[in-house]
Amino acid sequence: MREDPALLSTAVEEVLRWASSAAHSMGTATRPVEIRGRRIAEGDRVVLWAPSANRDEAVFDDSDTFDIARTPNRHLAFGSGKHLCIDGTLARAQMRILYTELLDTATGIEQTGPAHAVPSIAVRGPETLPIRIVLR
């Protein structure tokens, strides 16, 4: 990104895909449907596991590679359909501001202690992650 700041937008999308911080969303099938040979009946509870969907090798080339230039990047980090995240726009703007500020002010970020994950199946990410930002 430092070499090519034009990658900011695709980098934000790749972080969203890679981190998949909203781990799952659950819904109830309103009609019977078959998805990849799996039958789902009306009334069945179904779960979208975002980290899995966002590494679907049928959708993403090299899905286990973090690629800030990835295009297209049709990830489901904000869910989909009726309950699509209402403020993906704000989340994206916050990420763009954070990365722009970091690129402007820092030369690196170092982890200074052990990371501990949030104890949740709904939210993915570190609860604590001690870091040191190396300023210019």
Residues that bind ligand HEM (CB under 6 A): 21-22, 25, 77-79, 83, 85-87, 90-91
In the complex with ligand HEM, the residue whose CB is nearer, 107 or 120, is 120
Beta bridge partners of 110: 132
> And the tokens for 125?
């990410």
Encode 34-51: b = buried (16+ Cβ within 10 Å), e = exposed: eeeeeeeeeeeeeebebb
Q: What's the min distance (Å) between Cβ of 40 and ligand HEM? A: 16
Contact (Cβ atoms closer than 8 angstroms) between residue 98 and residue 15: no
In the complex with ligand HEM, the residue whose CB is nearer, 84 or 134, is 84
**Phi and psi based region of residue 125 (left: phi greater than 0; alpha: psi -120 to 50; beta: remaining):** left
In the complex with ligand HEM, the residue whose CB is nearer, 9 or 21, is 21
Q: What's the min distance (Å) between Cβ of 134 and ligand HEM? A: 25
In the complex with ligand HEM, the residue whose CB is nearer, 6 or 84, is 84
Q: Position of tokens 């430092």?
A: 2
Q: What's the min distance (Å) between Cβ of 21 and ligand HEM? A: 5
In the complex with ligand HEM, the residue whose CB is nearer, 78 or 99, is 78
> And the tokens for 7?
């990658």
Q: What's the min distance (Å) between Cβ of 22 and ligand HEM? A: 4
Contact (Cβ atoms closer than 8 angstroms) between residue 130 and residue 110: no
Q: How far apart are CA 34 and CA 3, in angstroms?
A: 46
Q: What's the min distance (Å) between Cβ of 119 and ligand HEM? A: 18
